[in-house]
Amino acid sequence: MAEDKKKASVFDGAVMTADGLSFKGVIMTPVVENCTGCERITQFEEVSYCPTYARPATKWTRGICNFATHIKATVDKEGKIKVNPLKASKRAARGR
């Protein structure tokens, strides 16, 4: 009985158009090389797409994609994670 049911695809209702994959009114573009290894990537008609972000190439233009599951946060040279100075000053003022 469970074998008869198919697993629901992320892109149910998606249609391939001349512009790209149309899903819920948004044109999806294929993933880029930097996305290789990410757990979010799904296949649609033999092409890999990111269901989280429509244009993955733009997420990589300013550094690391914040949705990437295969990239870990880095630590700076001093061994500390960078903190926003404005937030740090507010925390210090409250006594935290």
Look up tokens 């003022």; give the residue.
93
Residue 18's pLDDT is what? 81
Which of 92, 32, 42, 88 lies closest to 65 in space, CA to CA?
A: 32
**Phi-psi region at 95: left, alpha or beta (left = phi > 0; alpha = psi -120 to 50):** left
Taking the C-alpha atoms of residue 68 and residue 8, their distance in angstroms, rounded to an integer, is: 23
Task: Say if residue 96's pLDDT is above 80.
Answer: no
Domain boundaries defined on the chain = 15-94
Q: Taking residues 17-34, report their average pLDDT.
A: 85
- Going by pLDDT thresholds of 50, 70 and 90, the confidence category of residue 81 is low
Taking the C-alpha atoms of residue 19 and residue 28, their distance in angstroms, rounded to an integer, is: 9
pLDDT tens per residue, range 38-76: 888 888 888 888 888 888 888 888 888 887 888 776 666
Task: Say if residue 35's pLDDT is above 80.
Answer: yes
